[in-house]
Amino acid sequence: MHYIYMIFAFFGGMALPIQIGLNATVAKITSSAIFASCISFAVGTIAMFVIFLASRQPTPALSTISSVPNYAWIAGLLGAFYITISIVAAPKIGATMLVSLVFAGQMIGAIILDHYGAIGFPQHSINWGRVIGAIMIVSGVVLIRKF
């Protein structure tokens, strides 16, 4: 198993509620969740551009970029949707509830994508272990909401 990637994923997950809180702060001060989303994406885009330049990776050829399937560009829209929803919902439901619901949605979506081997993921059929795991996650959301 690639433990370093598991560690990166864990700390990336820990960064999520911090990002949500910071974005919600921008939205509160500016009175605009959409503006806060724009700022978040702008700062992220600049940071990724600097990292790309520092990595000295070659810029893909235009023909390579144009060969990306049209549906793949939806990823940016999904990111914008997620950021905006988190900015709007976080002050209403709190970080724990938001992150638990996001995690439950991610897990159920991932199980479906894996089952069909969709969008490049290796195919892993739904089985009882995965279903029970998803039920436990949803149960965790219910417990967090109740208490």
Query: What residues does each domain of the chain span?
Result: 3-146
pTM: predicted TM-score of the whole model, two decimal places: 0.79
Greatest CA separation for the chain: 54
What is the total residue count of the chain? 147
Nearest to 81 by CA among 137, 25, 40, 121: 40
- What is residue 144's predicted lDDT score, i.e. its pLDDT? 87
- What is residue 38's predicted lDDT score, i.e. its pLDDT? 95
The token duo for 104 is: 């439950």
What is the rounded distance in angstroms from the CA atom of residue 113 to the CA atom of residue 117?
Answer: 6
- What is residue 6's predicted lDDT score, i.e. its pLDDT? 85
What is the rounded distance in angstroms from the CA atom of residue 83 to the CA atom of residue 102?
Answer: 11
What is the rounded distance in angstroms from the CA atom of residue 124 to the CA atom of residue 6?
Answer: 19
What is the rounded distance in angstroms from the CA atom of residue 32 to the CA atom of residue 96?
Answer: 22
- What is residue 129's predicted lDDT score, i.e. its pLDDT? 93
Q: Which residues of the chain have pLDDT under 70?
A: 1
- What is residue 1's predicted lDDT score, i.e. its pLDDT? 67
- What is residue 29's predicted lDDT score, i.e. its pLDDT? 97
